[in-house]
Amino acid sequence: MLQSRGPRGGASEELAYRTADDLVKAIAGRQVSSRELVDSAISRIETLDPKINAVVVRDFERARAAADAADAALAKGENRALLGVPMTVKEQYAVAGLPTTRGDPKYKDWKAEVDALVVQRLKAAGVIILGKTNVPLNLSDWQSFNEVYGTTNNPWDLSRTPGGSSGGSAAALAAGFVPLELGSDIGGSLRAPAHFCGVFSHKPTLDLVPQRGSGPPQIPAVPVRGDLAVYGPMARSAADLALELEVLAGPGRVDGGGGLQTQIAAASARKAG
């Protein structure tokens, strides 16, 4: 039977099911710090996720450092769309320094050197990336199991699936780990898990959200496009979908400054050295 507000996580329960929009306002109003949100989310994941297995790649130490930086930026008066808000992303997305396998054991030791463009945009908006969520092998099933990370269970009923391929994403939202997620969809990979877990997702118009740098593992950070494949937001409210999509959408150009072009150059320099 479903619990009234979802799986319980002790001290983190107060913050677990607040919307991203609510958290943005709370952070800006100094009602809560980014570090408090991140620590609360980490505590909840460590308490509940052993049975759910949604957040299969964890980046907690860098997340804590990023949260401290966000709080320092807030203290200086900075104002960004999602400054200080923690979230996770689907395992397929390249995040520099983290593994990207798409559930395929042959890629289990490969780590991205460059953030996907959508991840860059989220970070530029102030998001704190806690880690990455589980998928089926090669994003190609209605459940979320692979030999690298195992099976993700539905937080409402651990005997059932959260769906796929964005199953870990939907499970993380339903469990109250994060207020926002980033999934992808060809034939239902955003929509089916959202339905299975009682959360929201949106399959955007083709080309609205750029796919640069999010190809299969070991593929260079170049534009990627399929006839039906799109990247899209996931959340626990329709309003939060719009909030995230505002950050993600736009032409897939190479961002300047500290963006993709700079990261590629830095990665090349590391290899040369």
Sequential DSSP letters for 198-251: T-EE--PPTTSS--TT-SSTT--S-----SS-EEEEEESSHHHHHHHHHHH-S-
Provide the pLDDT confidence category of residue 253 given band limits of 50, 70 and 90.
low
Among residues 12, 34, 40, 165, the one annotated as catalytic is 165
The verdict on whether 90 is a catalytic residue reads: yes
pLDDT surpassing 80 at residue 1: no
Of 33, 90, 123, 201, the active-site residue reads 90
pLDDT tens digits, one per residue of 118-157: 999 999 999 999 999 999 999 999 999 999 999 999 999 9
Quick check: 263 pLDDT over 50? no
Computed from CA positions of residues 221, 126, 20, 159, in that sequence, does the dihedral angle turn out positive or negative? positive
Contact 27, 84 (CB under 8 A): yes
pLDDT value at 100 more than 70: yes
Task: Output the pLDDT for position 4.
Answer: 32
Contacts of 142 (CB under 8 A, 6+ apart): 136, 161, 163, 164, 188, 192
165 is catalytic: yes
| CATH numeric code, 17-272 | 3.90.1300.10
For residue 185, give the 3-state DSSP assignment: strand
Residue 230 has pLDDT above 60, yes or no: yes
Residue 65 pLDDT exceeds 50: yes
- The predicted model gives 37-64 an average pLDDT of 98
Could you tell me how many helices (H) and strands (E) the chain has, helices first? Answer: 9, 8
Q: Could you report the per-residue pLDDT of 4-24, keeping only the tens digit for each?
A: 344 444 445 779 999 999 999
What DSSP designation does 177 have? S
Q: How confident is the model at residue 31 (pLDDT cuts 50, 70, 90)?
A: very high
Q: Name which residue leads in pLDDT, 265 or 61.
A: 61
pLDDT value at residue 133: 98
pLDDT 10s digits, 190-220: 999 999 999 999 999 999 999 988 788 998 8
Contact 109, 28 (CB under 8 A): no
Burial class (CB in 10 A: 0-12, 13-18, 19+), 18: middle
- Identify any residues that bridge with 132 across adjacent strands, giving them in sequence order: 57, 89
Q: What pLDDT sits at residue 14? A: 79
**DSSP state, 99?**
B
- Which of 12, 189, 201, 214 is labelled catalytic? 189
pTM of the model: 0.89
CA atoms within 13 A on the CB side of 210: 21
Confidence of residue 272 (pLDDT cuts 50, 70, 90): low
Q: What's the CA gap between 212 and 216, in Å, rounded? A: 11
Q: Is 43 one of the annotated active-site residues of the chain?
A: no
Residue 265 pLDDT class (50, 70, 90 cuts)? very low
What is the reported pLDDT for 264?
42
Domain ranges in the chain are 17-272
Q: Residue 52 corresponds to which amino acid? A: I
For residue 201, cis peptide bond before it (omega within 30 degrees of 0): no
The more confidently predicted of residues 255 and 89 is 89
